[in-house]
């Protein structure tokens, strides 16, 4: 069917719709689907999270799905070809969940190491992020599934994310924060864009005319669908006029037929605007084949062997070897007959971060399982936990009986403010927690949870509690906990990371205790008034742990084990509650309370062959770095985590991952330090991007390299490489060809990343020393060399001139720097460039 027929068809459908029907298309039907109009042959289409796998409709414990590596791990491959295959597979996964729109990739920049969703995004560098994201988009859409690049724009923190005002200079906005979106749009034409929650320079992103109308649809000429983040619509007329097509989720808050029709009557919104918004919704339905096949099939769990292999390949290529004092690889031959201590998080598969990126994976390979798979019975593995790493003690569940006399808890829902008869009663709930999302019947209700608890031992026990709104806990009628205010971050509560104050209570073994939790919806007025998708919902969790388990000494047995072993591998990192959507990182140090750092240092003191495998999506403090023999940054590598880690440790694959972010030594050395997460005045949080364009390596290039633990682009291999014989030629006014020879100077085949940076020969305080402008991953056999050719254009290293509102390259002499990281530049070519007054990008 030709494009003219498609266009006529869409216009024809639009003409049959009443104003009210057009308005109905502009918000979701429910949490994941759009609104159908059956009488006019307009079907609904389904969306699904997320950036590292298609989860489906249920947030926790739903249909199983493949868990791919987080974007920061995928970015560490520096491999666009792999990114396209990644997109192909994500599309196939989305279709198994009945979804035709995938909510990803996430492509905001890593502005600060404490950013809560950094792991979901690719890089601190907009060029690298844009190039890789474009390939993911291409891979998705060539399989018929719409990509939704997000979150547009300047969504670099989670603290107060619904209303924080990001004050960003125009140059930084265009050159750093919008640039990845621009590259993806120009190179891959994503069918959808999701706006951010936050304000940008005083205006909510969903109603930002400059970003949506002037830049996105104007300068960039893009004509796809703009949707809000979930609960991220903040107005009726303003958002419609700015270009927000679809409010999600449904039912609508701002786009009822009454509200929009009234706005049309008043003239604050024109019917032409409604037509334009509705047409974009219809166009998206057409692009994903909704009119041809309107069915939304039930979700299926399809464990595809090809996806398994791709996940393992991507993870293995994304792991970064950061230190190696001749400890790795630990080959099967060298490990035979050895005793290896597995410590820390060895039995936990840290496959994804928290929030939209979480899913119910088909399986998850722990590091212990992966290593046992790799070495078999030739190696004796022994395990010790070594450190307390929980963020919240688990909810009270065992030995509890509900009001009905059966195992579990009883929940009762009451009319808000009422103490009368419950509106609804549920029995057999497994534990003392209630997560309200998708449970619409709970909205605007008071909640009471009740159980009779019979402890199995006497003495003090630890409890903890938190709620979305005011919450209290009683034991045998005595109040033991009360929270009078709303949660400081309800989304953090939802994703399991709200801080909770622990307290103790003494129980007698075998006695019966009536435990009740009362949870009210959050207050809707005042400084802590609830906003977003959890507005009006009660919710809580009551944690419980016996004192012996809580206070157990885990360090001593781990150190004793490390002493008797030939090697010690310590697995450190963030579980999803420590690194999650909904809140920024608690600390630059590994959790909890220094326990993981103490474990590494204590083990390294007694075992000279200590290897650390760190699974975080961000840089963390590493006070023990000089004490350990090797360090692998494993990120969140997806469901094949343990196998991919074992592939690198054993030398089955030669590590080729390179850092897509800089690792500072101290949080104080980060360029945004002091301007993150902002300052609060009269209830409004404001963060100023005072570092401007000097983000990541652009900042570290201007200060002492002593502040950098590991530089952008860095990564080791089990072989060595050198770059030589570099040259640069200008093929046309704005296109350059660069060549360099890559020599493998080691003893085994491996891959490195040729990185080409461009900067002014005469450094300027107004501009970065150098900017990534081209890169290519290349595999070279041992003792061989290979010539690499890179093509780049003026636009790849242009800056945004605020005075002329245009990108430009000034006339002058420039350095073309070839390296394997920003701190390892091996060849520099200087060239005089005529420059450009204005570049149409």
Least Cα distance to 614 among 637, 592, 593 occurs for 637
Q: Give the C-alpha separation, 455 to 506, whole Å.
A: 10
On the question of a cis peptide bond just before residue 134, with omega within 30 degrees of 0, the verdict is: no
Q: Give the C-alpha separation, 789 to 759, whole Å.
A: 19
- What is the edge-to-edge ordering of all strands in the sheet holding 459-467? 433-434, 540-546, 459-467, 502-507
Under DSSP, the state recorded for 396 is P
- Using alpha carbons, list the distances in angstroms from residue 65 to 16, 315, 638, 642: 39, 17, 11, 18
> Which two three-digit tokens encode residue 453?
């608890």
Q: What are the two backbone dihedrals, phi and then psi, of residue 23, each rounded to the nearest 5 degrees? A: -60, -35
Q: Give the C-alpha separation, 91 to 53, whole Å.
A: 9
- As beta bridge partners, residue 241 has none
Contact residues for 768 (Cβ-Cβ < 8 A; gap 6+): 693, 694, 698, 701, 702, 759
- Using alpha carbons, list the distances in angstroms from residue 132 to 127, 137, 660: 9, 9, 11
Work out whether the CA dihedral 555, 556, 558, 559 comes out positive or negative.
positive
3-state secondary structure (DSSP) of residue 700: helix
Question: Helices 126-141 and 179-188 meet at what angle, rounded to 10?
Answer: 30
* Catalytic annotation, pick one of 49, 165, 229, 584: 229
| Start-to-end C-alpha separation, the chain | 32
HEC letters along 511-534: CCEEEEEEECCCCCCCCCCCCCCC
Question: How would you classify residue 113: left for phi > 0, otherwise alpha for psi between -120 and 50, otherwise beta?
Answer: alpha
> Which two three-digit tokens encode residue 705?
């390299």
Residues 563-586 as b/e (b if ≥16 CB within 10 A, e otherwise) read eebbbbbbbbbbbbbbbbbbbbbb
3-state secondary structure (DSSP) of residue 479: strand
DSSP output for 617-639? SS----TTGGG-SEEEE-----T
The beta strand positions in 399-458, using DSSP E, are 400-401, 409-415, 424-429, 433-434, 445-453
Least Cα distance to 319 among 576, 577, 620, 642 occurs for 642
Q: Give the C-alpha separation, 745 to 753, whole Å.
A: 15
CA 191 to chain centroid, in Å, comes to 21
> Which two three-digit tokens encode residue 472?
């209290």
Q: Give the C-alpha separation, 569 to 384, whole Å.
A: 11
Under DSSP, the state recorded for 165 is E
Looking up tokens 């009883």 gives 410
Is 832 considered catalytic here? no
> Which two three-digit tokens encode residue 590?
């590994």
Contact residues for 615 (Cβ-Cβ < 8 A; gap 6+): 345, 350, 571, 572, 573, 574, 634, 635, 636, 637, 641
Q: Give the C-alpha separation, 590 to 114, whole Å.
A: 12
- Using alpha carbons, list the distances in angstroms from residue 632 to 615, 628, 714, 823: 9, 11, 12, 19
Q: Give the C-alpha separation, 370 to 379, whole Å.
A: 13
Which of the residues are catalytic?
229
């Amino acid at each position: 069917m030709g494009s003219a027929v498609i266009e006529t068809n869409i216009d024809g459908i639009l003409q049959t719709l009443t104003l009210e029907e057009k308005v109905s298309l502009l918000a979701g039907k429910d949490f994941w689907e759009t609104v159908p109009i059956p009488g006019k042959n307009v079907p609904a289409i389904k969306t699904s999270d997320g950036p590292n796998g298609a989860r489906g409709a249920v947030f926790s414990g739903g249909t199983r799905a493949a868990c791919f590596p987080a974007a920061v791990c995928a970015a560490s491959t520096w491999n666009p070809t792999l990114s396209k295959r990644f997109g192909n597979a994500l599309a196939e996964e989305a279709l198994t969940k009945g979804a035709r729109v995938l909510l990803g990739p996430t492509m905001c920049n890593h502005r600060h190491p404490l950013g809560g969703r950094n792991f979901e995004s690719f890089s601190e560098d907009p060029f690298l992020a844009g190039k890789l994201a474009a390939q993911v988009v291409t891979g998705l859409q060539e399989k018929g599934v719409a990509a939704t690049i997000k979150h547009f724009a300047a969504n670099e923190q989670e603290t107060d994310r619904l209303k924080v005002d990001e004050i960003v200079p125009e140059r930084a906005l265009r050159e750093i924060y919008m640039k990845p979106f621009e590259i993806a749009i120009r190179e891959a034409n994503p069918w959808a864009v999701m706006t951010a929650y936050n304000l940008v320079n005083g205006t909510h992103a969903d109603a930002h005319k400059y970003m949506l109308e002037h830049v996105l649809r104007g300068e960039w000429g893009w004509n796809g669908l703009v949707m809000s983040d979930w609960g991220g619509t903040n107005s009726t007329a303003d958002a419609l006029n700015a270009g927000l097509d679809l409010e999600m989720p449904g039912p609508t808050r701002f786009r009822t037929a009454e509200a929009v029709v009234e706005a049309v009557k008043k003239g604050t919104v024109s019917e032409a605007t409604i037509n334009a918004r509705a047409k974009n919704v219809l166009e998206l339905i057409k692009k994903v084949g909704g009119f041809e096949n309107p069915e939304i099939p039930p979700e299926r769990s399809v464990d595809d062997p090809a996806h398994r292999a791709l996940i393992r390949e991507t993870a293995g290529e994304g792991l970064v070897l950061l230190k190696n004092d001749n400890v790795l690889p630990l080959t099967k031959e060298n490990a035979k007959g050895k005793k290896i201590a597995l410590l820390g998080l060895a039995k936990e598969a840290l496959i994804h971060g928290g929030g939209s990126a979480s899913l119910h994976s088909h399986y998850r390979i722990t590091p212990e399982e992966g290593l046992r798979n790799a070495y078999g019975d030739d190696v004796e593995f022994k395990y010790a936990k070594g450190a307390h790493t929980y963020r919240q003690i688990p909810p009270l569940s065992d030995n509890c009986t509900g009001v009905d006399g059966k195992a579990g808890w009883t929940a009762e829902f009451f009319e808000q403010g009422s103490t009368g008869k419950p509106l609804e009663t549920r029995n057999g709930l497994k534990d003392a927690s209630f997560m309200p999302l998708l449970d619409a019947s709970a909205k605007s209700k008071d909640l009471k949870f009740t159980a009779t608890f019979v402890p199995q031992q006497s003495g003090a026990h630890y409890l903890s509690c938190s709620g979305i709104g005011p919450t209290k806990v009683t034991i045998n009628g005595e109040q033991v906990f009360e929270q009078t205010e709303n949660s400081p971050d309800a989304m953090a509560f939802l994703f399991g990371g709200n801080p909770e104050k622990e307290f103790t209570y003494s129980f007698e073994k075998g006695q019966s205790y009536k435990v009740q939790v009362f949870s009210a919806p959050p207050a809707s007025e005042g400084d802590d008034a609830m906003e977003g998708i959890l507005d009006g919902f009660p919710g809580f969790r009551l944690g419980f742990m016996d004192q012996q388990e809580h206070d157990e000494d885990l360090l001593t047995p781990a150190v004793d084990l490390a002493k008797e072993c030939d090697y010690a591998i310590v697995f450190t990192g963030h579980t999803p509650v420590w690194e999650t959507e909904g809140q920024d990182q608690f600390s630059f140090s590994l959790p909890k309370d220094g326990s993981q750092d103490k474990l590494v240092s204590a083990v390294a003191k007694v075992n000279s062959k200590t290897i650390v495998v760190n699974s975080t999506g961000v840089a963390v403090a590493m006070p023990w770095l000089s004490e350990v023999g090797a360090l692998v940054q494993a990120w969140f590598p997806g469901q094949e985590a343990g196998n991919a880690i074992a592939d690198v440790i054993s030398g089955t694959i030669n590590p080729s991952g390179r850092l897509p972010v800089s690792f500072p030594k101290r949080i104080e050395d980060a360029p945004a330090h002091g301007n993150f997460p902002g300052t609060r005045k009269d209830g409004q949080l404001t963060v100023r991007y005072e570092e401007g364009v000097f983000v990541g390596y652009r900042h570290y290039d201007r200060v002492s390299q002593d502040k950098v633990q590991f530089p952008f682009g860095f990564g080791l291999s089990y072989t060595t490489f050198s770059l030589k014989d570099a040259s640069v030629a200008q093929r046309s006014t704005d296109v350059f060809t660069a060549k360099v020879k890559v020599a493998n100077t080691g003893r085994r085949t491996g891959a490195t990343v040729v990185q080409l940076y461009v900067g002014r020969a005469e450094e300027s305080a107004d501009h970065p020393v150098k900017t990534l402008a081209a890169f290519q991953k290349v595999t070279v056999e041992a003792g061989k060399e290979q010539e690499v050719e890179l093509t780049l254009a003026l636009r790849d290293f242009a800056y945004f001139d605020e005075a002329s509102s245009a990108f430009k390259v000034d006339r002058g002499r420039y350095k073309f720097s070839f390296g394997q990281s920003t701190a390892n530049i091996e060849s520099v070519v200087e060239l005089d460039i005529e420059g450009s007054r204005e570049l149409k990008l």
